[in-house]
Amino acid sequence: MAVGKETEKGAGDEGRRSALALYEDIEAEHMAALEATGIAFAPYDSERLEREGLLRQLRERGARIRNGGASVAIGPMSVACEACTGSCVSRSFALTNNCHRDCFFCFNPNQEDFAYWCERPFPWRRQLDDLAAEPGSPACIALTGGEPLLMADEAVAFFSRASELFPAAHLRLYTSGDLLSRELIDRLVRAGLHEIRFSVKQDDKPELLEKVLERMAWAREQVPTVMVEMPVIPGTDSFMKELLAKLDALGVDGVNLLEFAYAMWNWPVFESLGLTLRNPPQQVMFDYTYAGALAVQDSEEDCLRLMLWAREQGLGLALHYCSLENKHRAQVRNMNEPFADIHACYAFDYDDFFLKTALAFDGDRDLVRRALEREGCRQVLEDAEGGSLAFHPRWLSVARRAVPEPGRLCVSFNVAVDEGRSLRELKVVPAGELSVQLTDSTGSADACEPCLQGFEKSWNR
């Protein structure tokens, strides 16, 4: 009864509504600017119930749900995939942006100075030397492009130099496979190559696909790890099932199923295929640097369905679904993990890698502060202008007992900027709407739980 009276005293909701409205307005402006370019979004769907159902089915069949659902793995993962959103360093290099293929969805034209590096080779030797001068050593190094094998001798030289500078690093190559020969594979392996990732295109003619499959078989004889990495375009279900069966029979180690994305160019081709973009496009709006800017509607669900199908068919090859969100989370982790202990009121979320704090607003601030003090928590941040009280998310369950009305408590998402000298808030959401994918200290995933339980479990490991 006393709690109810206190909550009643805590009336007044201007600060909370203002904080939520601010980011709703930012998202609306962002969406309007995107739509003004002529692209089309699917109907708004923040719950994505089909996705959640597929994730539950995959978990029941032994899949590992990683990074808050942004990554799903069946079987062993490549060392490089583990490192991508891991705490160790993974770096990618290119020889050129040129490519003999002309894929309508290529991300490269959305990269800064794309044309410049089509006309000139990348200074990879200097870049490797600069990396060697940095403290620490990368766990993984990749050579990508463009098509690296357009400069085959340079590709061999790259791996030889990378192996010399970083003898413990895992070295991988991305290629279409068209330009591989047995002799070139041998040279690459002797230069230090550990993994090769082939890119298969759904619109390849049968004879070209068979040629690439033959080169995978050649690579399988010498390269320690042979992978296929490709986006899943909605509507290519039959092709993908047939391909997965062929790759399994070939003995390929694994397949990375990528969420198909639109890279802010060539929209008429996407439109001609009847494709739309996911809405909302991102969990948290931010200036992400990955060139694949916007996820295509239904690609994620198609990837997850393919993984379920492969499991039911008993295919032996490893599968990893890597979402666009997962690539964004690699960037966020790199920004935030060095500052995981930036302040006692902020927590580093090991699922999505944002720095988060819990918020009480307006009249609820006094109720929450007193409740926290009774439990021994006195580390709070006051924001008089915003009318909020910030505290570590581990105390959310205590605050919830003081303010039981759903949605009044909130969580703030942040990134560290200016080398950790300040935080940039990106989003505020009601705590009751937030869920996290819990991961115990061994890395195994539990079922999703409401955030009020999840924060305590994640951040008291």
DSSP state of 38: T
Q: Please, what is the angle between helix 237-250 and helix 206-222, to 10°?
A: 30
Shared-domain flag, residues 98 and 210: yes
Q: Which amino acid is at 54?
A: L
Cα separations (Å) of 288 from 30, 35, 191, 386?
A: 14, 18, 34, 27
Classify residue 34: in a domain, yes or no: no
Shared-domain flag, residues 330 and 345: no
Shared-domain flag, residues 316 and 434: no
Question: Around 74, how many Cα atoms within 13 Å sit in the side-chain half-sphere?
Answer: 28
Q: Respond yes or no on whether the N-terminal peptide bond of residue 404 is cis (omega within 30° of 0).
A: no
Q: Which of 180, 109, 201 is nearest to 146 (CA)?
A: 109
pLDDT of residue 110: 81
pLDDT of residue 6: 33
- Per-residue model confidence as pLDDT tens digits over 334-353: 999 999 999 999 999 999 99
- 18: Cβ–Cβ under 8 A, 6 or more apart, which residues? 386, 387
First to last CA, the chain: 34
Question: What is the average pLDDT score of the chain?
Answer: 89
- Per-residue model confidence as pLDDT tens digits over 185-229: 999 999 999 999 999 999 889 999 999 999 999 999 999 999 999
Shared-domain flag, residues 319 and 304: yes
Residue found by looking up tokens 């290629």 in the block? 175
Of 308, 335, 362, the residue at which a domain comes to its end is 335
- Tell me: pLDDT of 357 over 50: yes
- In the predicted model, what is the mean pLDDT of residues 375-380? 95
- Per-residue model confidence as pLDDT tens digits over 277-291: 999 999 999 999 888
Per the CB < 8 A criterion, the answer to whether 58 and 304 are in contact is: yes
Classify residue 124: in a domain, yes or no: yes
Shared-domain flag, residues 241 and 389: no
SS3 448: coil
pLDDT of residue 40: 97
- Per-residue model confidence as pLDDT tens digits over 72-111: 999 999 989 988 887 677 899 999 999 999 888 888 888 8
pLDDT of residue 455: 33
C-alpha triplet 52, 53, 55: angle, nearest 5°: 65
Question: Around 182, how many Cα atoms within 13 Å sit in the side-chain half-sphere?
Answer: 4
- Tell me: pLDDT of 167 over 80: yes
Shared-domain flag, residues 128 and 157: yes
Confidence category of residue 434, pLDDT binned at 50, 70, 90: low
pLDDT of residue 245: 98
pLDDT of residue 441: 26
Classify residue 151: in a domain, yes or no: yes
The boundaries of the domain holding residue 445 are: 2-28+340-458
Classify residue 275: in a domain, yes or no: yes
Q: Which two tokens stand for residue 275?
A: 């494709």
pLDDT of residue 432: 75
Per the CB < 8 A criterion, the answer to whether 358 and 388 are in contact is: no
pLDDT of residue 452: 30
Classify residue 382: in a domain, yes or no: yes
Tally of structural domains, the chain: 2
Shared-domain flag, residues 267 and 214: yes
- In the predicted model, what is the mean pLDDT of residues 8-33? 84
- 142: Cβ–Cβ under 8 A, 6 or more apart, which residues? 80, 90, 91, 92, 93, 171, 172, 173, 174
pLDDT of residue 153: 98
Task: Report strand pairing: 225-232 vs 195-198.
Answer: parallel
Of 278, 312, 335, the residue at which a domain comes to its end is 335
- Tell me: pLDDT of 118 over 70: yes
- Tell me: pLDDT of 54 over 80: yes
Of 285, 313, 335, the residue at which a domain comes to its end is 335
Classify residue 199: in a domain, yes or no: yes
Q: What is the phi/psi pair of residue 64, to 5°?
A: -100, 120
Classify residue 39: in a domain, yes or no: no
Shared-domain flag, residues 315 and 359: no
Confidence category of residue 114, pLDDT binned at 50, 70, 90: confident
Q: 442-451: which pairs have CB atoms within 8 A and are 24 or more residues apart?
A: 443/64, 444/64, 445/59, 445/64, 445/65, 445/66, 447/56, 447/59, 448/52, 448/69, 451/393, 451/396, 451/411
CA distance 287 to 30: 11
